[in-house]
Amino acid sequence: MERVCFTLHVKLDRLDEYVEDHKNVWSEVLEALTRSGWHNYSLFLNRKDGCLITYCEVDDFQKAMDAIAQEEASLRWQAKMVDYFVPVAGKKPADAFERFVEVFHLQ
């Protein structure tokens, strides 16, 4: 099992909308995530700078990424979310996250 952690930045003037949307993520998106192997999935936000941390657990990150990219509801959701994120120069929105390396784990 891989524990995955990465960051993105939410635009500071869109924080409230972003948080509000995540109180009611579409059920078909939740089902697609589970079906694609994403578990114990949390999003954490720092309202001061808009830094958003994703933490989740997957059997295989690349497989989980490939699987969710085939899910129509997830693609629609991501298309809506992309406006909330600060663009990263030279990267497509779907690749604009910064993955961190796990350096310690205690069960």
- Calpha distance 68→75 (Å, rounded): 8
SS3 79: helix
SS3 54: strand
Instruction: Say whether residue 25 binds a copy of itself (CB under 8 A).
Output: yes
As measured in angstroms, the least distance from the Cβ of 52 to a copy of itself is: 8
For 1-14, letters b (16+ CB in 10 Å) and e give eeebeeebbbeeee
Question: Which of 40, 76, 82, 94 is the binder for a copy of itself (CB under 8 A)?
Answer: 40
Question: Which of 14, 26, 28, 55 is the binder for a copy of itself (CB under 8 A)?
Answer: 55
Q: For the window 83-102, what string marks contact with a copy of itself as x by the rule CB under 8 A?
A: ---------------x-xxx
Q: One-letter amino acid identity for 11?
A: K
Q: Which range in 34-42, 66-74, 82-90 contacts a copy of itself by CB under 8 A?
A: 34-42
Nearer to a copy of itself, 62 or 107 (CB): 107
